Chain A
């Protein structure tokens, strides 16, 4: 399943398991939830086509090997895949790396330059990128950045300069209902409920419960100023293509909310 976000940027989507039961949604009945519906925390990859060259950012999980291979073939056709960027070596993000490289021997692997144990992840080969490194794909240019809010130390974020898209990987993810798959946030019915962001970050970036809130929120202010994106394309949420910095600002409320409540739960 894929959808074009902006010219040359394609969103490739994996739903993963229904979280209704493991997140106890029916009993808790949060405002954004509707009884009887399924709910998902997606796993997303993104394909950037610059006309001259193509780049895939993340691989989906090992449960979707055929799906990512098919999606890449459909999107790049005979031109091939020039770059595969692994944002970090977490299984749901990187689990199809070998399968993609086997199917596309023309592809150059691009890995984070941060962290110190690349050999333990088969990431010692390929290009290592850090803050400010760029790949020119033709009409699209991607730039890499030190990941700010992350899990694995071997991590990198990415932006696309022409469309001003930020790919913040595990940050700014959120849960959505079944029929909202591949829907842009501005297309959702009603006002976006920030508690969806709390549900995700309270479970997945579990360490938010242990942070200095003011320092963390100062970092969010810095990110807004640094990136000022038009589009935010998270790995575990729906794409935000309107008022993107307002949603980044919302993340400060998420930090405060998680700080002020008991642990909402684990990912499951």
Chain B
């Protein structure tokens, strides 16, 4: 079961329960001109559900390519079950030391560069919001979707698991954006928010972003991007203000 985000990008939505609050641990499927492309592969925790969803969405064929934002286990744990270790599936990752990242067969994408994968052009962006150093954000030039890995996330309540940002009463809730980034990008306690916002401005100026697709949040539709970014900025200021060096 997938949820359409844009005409050719679908969300394979999985959640992890934090004592009543949910956090997405998702992946995305793109229907590119020459085949299907997965962005990330999800967690082993949801392996059965993910492989079944991909099987159904691809008519039993499986993906033609897997592009990883980074090697962190919740993003890269299903590469083999989805065929990423076979010659039939092209595996793309950003690390220059793939063997150390557990991805010895991956084709390297350069952060700052572009690749055409299954007939679709992708750009690989140095992310201002991430945890691991080798993370790349991925921009899909077909539908204008920006895949933001660990950035642009949010927690959500039961019953909101399938929501796009516009399905919330007033877009993705500010508190959920704040709580997610506080807990998961711990370094934001030292952030100078204006520096991150300048880099985000540059990215949004360079790329025509029509949707943002986080791995750990509800996808953000074009009409809601300004509201989300305002809330993200406020969340960063709050996280930094709340942490004082003892």
- Give A residues with C-beta under 8 Å from B: 14, 16-17, 19, 22, 43, 61-63, 89-92, 95, 115-117, 119-121, 149-153, 155, 203-207, 209-213, 215-216, 218-219, 222, 263, 266-268
Are B245 and A218 within 8 A (Cβ)?
yes
Given A63-B97, A121-B73, A222-B245, 15 more contacts at CB 8 Å?
A17-B99, A17-B100, A61-B100, A63-B99, A90-B132, A120-B43, A121-B74, A150-B187, A151-B133, A153-B185, A207-B130, A207-B187, A215-B240, A216-B190, A267-B133
Are B16 and A119 within 8 A (Cβ)?
yes
Are A120 and B99 within 8 A (Cβ)?
no
The count of A-to-B residue pairs whose CB atoms sit within 8 angstroms is 125
With a cutoff of 8 Å between Cβ atoms, the chain A residues found around residue B111 in the complex are 266
Are B71 and A91 within 8 A (Cβ)?
yes
> Is B128 an interface residue when CB atoms closer than 8 A count as contact?
yes
With a cutoff of 8 Å between Cβ atoms, the chain B residues found around residue A116 in the complex are 18, 183
Q: How many interface residues does chain B have, given as a range?
A: 35 or more
Q: Interface majority SS on B: helix, strand, loop or mixed?
A: loop
Closest CB in chain A relative to B214 CB, distance in Å: 15
Are A209 and B43 within 8 A (Cβ)?
no
Given known contacts A91-B102, A211-B187, is B130 in contact with A206 (CB within 8 Å)? yes
Are B102 and A153 within 8 A (Cβ)?
no
- Give B residues with C-beta under 8 Å from A: 16, 18, 23, 25, 43-45, 71-74, 94-97, 99-102, 104, 111-112, 126, 128, 130-134, 183-187, 190-192, 195-196, 199, 240, 245-246
Are A120 and B16 within 8 A (Cβ)?
yes
Are A62 and B99 within 8 A (Cβ)?
yes
With a cutoff of 8 Å between Cβ atoms, the chain B residues found around residue A43 in the complex are 100
Given known contacts A63-B100, A149-B187, A211-B187, is B45 in contact with A120 (CB within 8 Å)? yes
